Amino acid sequence: MTAADADREGRTAQPSAAPRVVTKNIGGVGMLLWQLALGIFLLLAWQGASDRLVDNFFISNPLDVGRRLIGWTMDGSIFMHIWATVYATVMGFVIGSVIGVILGIWLGVSQFASRLLNPYLSALNALPKIALAPLFVLWFGLGIESKIALAAVLVLFLVFLNTFAGVREVDQDLIDGARLMRATRAQIVGKVIIPSALSWVFAGLKISVPYALIGAVLGEMIAANRGLGYLVQFSGSQFDTAGVFAVLIVIALLAVALNLMVETVQHRMERWRIVSR
């Protein structure tokens, strides 16, 4: 090999000097600081806009909202309303989720039942669920049962649709393999279908968490003497803008906390999954 050939081979072996793209990876603590900074900026913007750009009567301000929350916390009145809403939300979420998962698995496995009930379920799903609230008040009374029923109905269809889709998306090869190993129908459902559709089920659960809270709050706004929905309605009737915003903040924090709980349960139940990066 000549020197010219060696030199040519060495040049071809060297990687081309392509431009490097530098990505800035922000860690968990750094992202938390950015999120806090954004929240502080929004609060300052809200405080600055109040009574300068928009009348304080319409948007209140963070200081008044904070005073209202502190006052309700000091006298303990807010905890009674939080407990009533949390209880209705959790009960409605659990009832709706259980029925939705069972219904989704059953109809996903049974071709005959899904075809038979498909038009009726489609009609019920298209029905605005909020329109059922007065009917639930007539059936279950003014107590917390009507709020639980409304929250459960809102959750049921969301969980059912995701579970049904997840069961239908299970790989047929897995089912056929279980059948070749002489697995029973119950074993196929418990060992193959449910684990494979678990991510779909939890997607429906996470989506339905705020809807359960919405159902409970709307039910309290229609007919109740306690709960965050009642407190929103009462504050609005008193033209108390700070009170309305204070309750909305509490509702938002509740929604975040409930969603984190569902995500924690999902991570614990899906540890067996191998996620490709």
CA gap 255, 228 in Å, rounded: 13
Q: What is the largest CA-CA distance in the chain?
A: 98
Same domain, 52 and 135: no
Do 50 and 152 lie in one domain? The reply is: no
Q: What is the pTM of this model?
A: 0.78
Residue 142 lies in a domain: yes
Where among 10, 41, 59 does a domain terminate? 59
Name the β-bridge partners of 54: 50
Dump strand ranges (E) for 112-170: none
Range with lowest mean pLDDT among 48-57, 83-92, 128-137, 264-273: 264-273
Q: Which two tokens stand for residue 190?
A: 């418990």
Share of the chain above pLDDT 90, in %: 23
State whether 35 and 120 are in the same domain. no
**Residue range 44-101, pLDDT digits in tens:** 998 888 888 888 888 888 898 999 999 899 988 899 999 999 999 999 999 999 999 9
Residues 49 and 139 in one domain: no
Domain range spanning residue 49? 26-59
Mark whether 53 and 68 lie in a shared domain: no
Please tell me whether residues 74 and 48 are part of one structural domain: no
Residue after which a domain boundary falls, among 10, 42, 59:
59
Q: What is the Cα–Cα distance from 213 to 250, expressed in whole angstroms?
A: 12
Task: Please report whether residue 8 resides in a domain.
Answer: no
One-letter identity of residue 40: I
Alpha-carbon distance 78 to 89, whole Å? 16
**What is the structure's pLDDT at 272?**
53
CATH number at residue 241: 1.10.3720.10
- 50 and 79 together in one domain: no
What domain count does the chain have? 2
Domain boundary among 12, 36, 59: 59
CA 80 to chain centre: 24
Q: Please check whether residue 158 lies inside any domain of the structure.
A: yes
